[in-house]
Amino acid sequence: MPAPATATLIVENGYAGWREQALRALARGWPPDALTWVEHLPTPDGGTAQMALDYSASAGDAAGPSDAAPASEAPCTAYTGAPEPDAPSASTGQAETPVRISPALAGLLQDAARYRSPRRWAFLYRVLWRWRQGDRAVASAADEDGRHLHAMAKSVRRAHHDMIAYVRFHKRDRPGIPEYLAWYEPDHDVLAAAAEHFARRMGRSSWLIGTPHGAALWDGSTLRLSGAPADAAAIRASAANDQAEPLWLAYYRNVFNPARLNEAALHRQMPVRFWKGLPEGPLIPGMIAQARNGARRVAQAGTVGAMSGKAVAVDAQRAQPLRAAPSSLDECRRCELWRQATQAVPGEGPAAARIMLVGEQPGDHEDLAGRAFVGPAGQVLNDALHRAGVPRGDVFLTNAVKHFKWFPRGKRRMHKTPAQREVDACAHWLDQELARVRPAVIITLGATALGAVLRHKASLRDYLDAPVRHGDAWLVATWHPSYALRVDDASAREEIVDGIARAIARGRQLLAAPPSSAGAAGHG
């Protein structure tokens, strides 16, 4: 028969319907370019959709075996897993001569027929046409069409594997058939094949799997497929009432081992798009974040542990750290500095100290020890206190910012000046310390501390050697001890330490100064 200018072929019942139309077209010698393939999708009715959640078996329900077809391609059919014929056959009268294809190509065609694409039937016919013309290269992955055919089949097989792996059943919140419900959104038409797997695995337990393109119901003996989408809202509402789900989530959280986490493998083997269908899905991002924080802390601990040190013989009992009960400062999340810090470093000193020294922020040593001014800058400050004749135990030591801000340089954590928003976030804690201690003299170490106390930006040089009244206290500004550590010249370094000592000594003198002397102090 001569080829028509154009012909429209309607595909019903999935692969079986396409095979019938393809054989008829081959028998008439119609080339692929002369055909338009249209897939007929069933229109779901109310009864079919209702069957998805409420089902009662009756004598007429059990249908006979039929060819396997994707759920979206059959209105409602019983399915027993009968295999597809290996090759299109001309013995039914649709073709004048038989069309024989290899088992490998037959498997590829059947898998690719489940690939969700409006052009799949036209493409599969082009493959079959080329084979019929003697072009065996079409089945090879080296051929352009063959490569696309193999890719389609591989994608379908992957979707089938994913559905088996990621379907999660939950027990229904009321008795009846089905006992278990699940909702899943497959990429391709693999519901029928995956449902057969679950029918074999779950025995006499009845269940229903709902998808946007159909549903599968197993009543314990017969598998039924519906082309109508299931009620996703009803399935999710039923899952919310599952009494066993909280137990599963608690178990999942507790068996998670952050040390074994491999994020690349996790995203490769369980892509993010599947998480929304898993009960444990909402927990995964938080557990990943906790594992990252733990890895950072472990990395920091390794660096510190590799540092050279000196062994000190101490009593084992006395070596145990004295840890105070967690305070609200430990849980502070007012800015992001807590994420990379080991811990918050509060102020320390006598509760009624007359002098308070305010620094910028904890350093590397302070971050690890949890105490203020115990590192190299603390040693410089101890020297200045000694020169000023003020015991360290008589003053209250604190910082404007309570967490260590740093950046990596090789294996070291280097100090980074806190941003103004971070200083402002910590002002709450500094104000609490000032209100609790009520010092008579506040000595600020560096420009950041000066601005934090004054609550506005200020030039340190304008306040050096010029005490001012700040509320009910004297304010004395001087250099930060770390400034001396950054100066290479020994004489300049000595001058800085002397300047800090003079400021501390001046603060001690001001303890006896009357408030009326504020006008003569410089900044009123």
Reported as a single tens digit per residue, the pLDDT across 117-166 is 989 999 999 999 999 999 999 999 999 999 999 999 999 999 999 999 88
Could you tell me the domains of the chain? 7-43+80-164 (no CATH), 248-299 (no CATH), 332-521 (3.40.470.10)
Which of the pair, 73 or 282, is modelled with greater confidence? 282
pLDDT (mean) for 45-50: 40
**DSSP helix, strand, coil percent of the chain (3-state; round to 5):** 45, 15, 40
- Residue 180's pLDDT is 87
- Residue 284's pLDDT is 81
- Residue 325's pLDDT is 46
- Residue 195's pLDDT is 92
pLDDT (mean) for 325-354: 88
Radius of gyration of the chain (CA): 38
Q: Which residues contact 185 (CB under 8 A, 6 or more apart)?
A: 211, 212, 277
Spacing of C-alpha 276 from chain mean position: 12
Assess whether the previous peptide bond of 88 is cis (omega < 30° from 0): no
> 114: helix, coil or strand?
coil
Q: Quick one: tokens of 408?
A: 């990596």
- Asked if residue 75 has pLDDT above 50, the reply is no
- Asked if residue 521 has pLDDT above 60, the reply is no
- Asked if residue 92 has pLDDT above 60, the reply is no
- Asked if residue 31 has pLDDT above 80, the reply is yes
The residue among 468, 470, 397 whose CA lies nearest residue 437 is 397
- Residue 45's pLDDT is 44
Do strands 441-445 and 468-470 pair parallel, antiparallel, or not at all (unpaired)? Answer: unpaired
- Residue 44's pLDDT is 46
Do strands 180-183 and 7-11 pair parallel, antiparallel, or not at all (unpaired)? Answer: unpaired
pLDDT (mean) for 487-506: 95
Q: Please give the helix or strand (H or E) that residue 128 lies within, else none.
A: helix 120-132
Residue 8 main-chain phi, psi, to 5 deg = -110, 125
- Asked if residue 296 has pLDDT above 70, the reply is yes
- Residue 236's pLDDT is 73
